[in-house]
Structure 1
Amino acid sequence: MANLNAYVYNGEELEVSASMKEDFNRDGFIIVRNLLCQKELAILEEALQGPDSLTAYAYGNDDGDGRKATMCLWNHPGNDVTGAMARTRKLAHTAQELLGAEVYHYHSKLIMKEARTGGKFVWHQDYGYWYNFACLFPDMLTVFVAMDACSPENGCLQVLRGSHRAGRIDHGAVGNQVGADVGRVAELEKCLDKVYVQLEAGDALFFHCNLLHTSSANNSDQRRWAFLTAYNCNHNSPYAESIHCQKTTLRQLANDAVLTTGVNRNLSGKDVVMKQDGKYVTLAL
């Protein structure tokens, strides 16, 4: 298996070492194993179940092959356990250290690839979208936390190592989705290592907003759920309003905040993004 730039969380403060920064800057990503323990995963799982949970606001995106990847998306952390998780130092402070500047919560989402039906995502960069949301610089990253084991069979992420150094690539229609220029991606595939990001539940991938990534459909009998939080540097707050928020104060919490918050479904203040008639709208809760 290719080197995955993997580190292991020991349950205390997550120190961002020089080697972590070097890996992130060179390759565009690092992995932190065991970032969430089994009890934290169980709390998160329970909080996302039921008609009063965030999953009530989920919507599906057709991948062009008759399958859908379902997601729910929100702009502000809010007061529930998912907000507590996004504010933990092991996510937020680590993101800040990797980017080298103070950050705020740009948005979070839950991506649900169900067994046998979960759809694919074409090659893209997050900044390929966020550039159009009035963010001037690619000073942003995403933390992908696996709620289930992620494998090639159930549609784990694939990344092109070091592709963030190619800069922002033009994005446009690729089938039924918006993705990176297919010709340019094809050339980058010839010279960069494609990595299948295989994770266990509780592992996390921190990746740069210009890192090219894709994922296949879930052809297995195992679902693939993931919790993602995007952080933006304070100095990079969008210059105009868009579907995601401008700079807000991020109050970071202790690393055990999920455990102390428990199963909390109080969705007030989250500003959920919904898809209606092909357009994105925000719903203040």
Structure 2
Amino acid sequence: MRLTDAQVAEYEERGYLVFPGLVSHEEVEILRRDLHRVTGVEAEGVIREKSGAVRSVFRVHDETGPTASPPFQALATLPRVIDPARQVLGDEPVYVYHTKCNLKDAIDGAIWQWHQDYGYWKTDGVDRPDMTTSLLMLDEATEIGGCLYFIPGSHKLGRLDPEMDETTTSYKLWTVPKDQVIEIMTRFGDPVPITGKPGTVVLFHPNIVHGSGHNMSRHARWHIYTVYNQVSNRPHGIENPRPEWVVARRCDALATGSDDGILRLADADARRPAAE
């Protein structure tokens, strides 16, 4: 799947693109089932809220980790997912920097403060913001359900000096200071809610300022984020780097997979004899 010149220009101007229905209902259900399985794994990459509910699951793309998920591995190389990501990165070889599934339980799902993703990734030893994130909605994203919000165009500011917020939520996060966020909104306009049906994919720049609110609805909100990085931009030179479940050590270029890769896995599982 190739982006049009207009789509590339929109990504460069606004900092994101939205693709409704890019992943089918059947594929979404396969991914949801396997994510439900992975949430039961006890591992460092499974982050829980103070209530005990799962907040995030990392590293589902890597078959060598405890949270490995074959359907999510297939998702990362689907042509309709990886090709646009590769294109906005100049058609350079890319690998998966990390994957993260954010789960917001009904009523209890907590906020994500205003931040830039590259605000943190720079501290991992990544020299350039030559990265992009592909977000897949596994549930319908609504405003009352704690959808993502972008400040369109804010990526043009480059990386802003972040501050560490260790107390607002159960997950420590490098955030954009409040006064600076207000200034950015004044300059670029009010944030835009990123809503959509299950199967919607959103491609966005690592410097766009974004956040999400509390889930006040009766429905869960599950999102999967696949972060692509240029192979030439892999992290280096950092003492005591963050663990592999959040910053991948495997930086080999990804090959484009089969467009029915997720469905093939489900077919193979269906044909496998039941254990006696």
Equivalent in 17, 27, 36 of residue 40 of structure 1: 27
Q: Which residue of 2 aligns with 1:208?
A: 205
Equivalent in 159, 170, 175 of residue 168 of structure 1: 159
Q: Secondary structure in 1 aligned to 2:255?
A: coil
Q: Identify unmatched segments of 5+ residues in structure 2.
A: 64-68, 270-276
Alignment of 1:1-285 (within 5 A): 14-50=1-37, 53=38, 55-56=40-41, 57=43, 58-61=46-49, 70-74=55-59, 76-78=61-63, 80-100=70-90, 101-174=92-165, 175-176=167-168, 177-178=172-173, 179-193=175-189, 194-240=191-237, 242=241, 243=243, 244-246=247-249, 247-262=251-266
Give the whole-Å Cα distance in 2 for the aligned partners of 1:256 and 1:19: 27
Per-residue deviation, residues 50-91 of structure 1 (Å, max 9, x unmatched): 3xx3552422255xxx89770110175327111011111211
Is the CA contact 1:43–1:263 (under 8 Å) kept in the aligned structure 2? no
- Structure with greater proportional strand content: 1
Q: 1:138 to 1:169 in 2, by over 3 A?
A: same
Deviation at 1:254, TM superposition (A): 1.8
**TM-score normalised according to structure 2 size:** 0.83
Per-residue deviation, residues 201-232 of structure 1 (Å, max 9, x unmatched): 00011000001100001001010001110000
Is the CA contact 1:143–1:206 (under 8 Å) kept in the aligned structure 2? yes
Give the whole-Å Cα distance in 2 for the aligned partners of 1:54 and 1:152: 25
Amino acid at match of 2:180: R
Give the whole-Å Cα distance in 2 for the aligned partners of 1:263 and 1:254: 14
Q: 1:136 to 1:195 in 2, by over 3 A?
A: same
Q: 1:68 to 1:47 in 2, by over 3 A?
A: closer
Q: Share of identical aligned residues, percent? A: 26
Q: RMSD in angstroms over aligned alpha carbons?
A: 2.1
Is the CA contact 1:36–1:202 (under 8 Å) kept in the aligned structure 2? yes
Is the CA contact 1:77–1:87 (under 8 Å) kept in the aligned structure 2? no
Give the whole-Å Cα distance in 1 for the aligned partners of 2:120 and 2:112: 14
Give the whole-Å Cα distance in 1 for the aligned partners of 2:86 and 2:7: 13
Deviation at 1:102, TM superposition (A): 2.1
Amino acid at match of 2:4: S
Deviation at 1:173, TM superposition (A): 2.9
Q: Identify unmatched segments of 5+ residues in structure 1.
A: 1-13, 266-285
Give the whole-Å Cα distance in 2 for the aligned partners of 1:238 and 1:126: 15
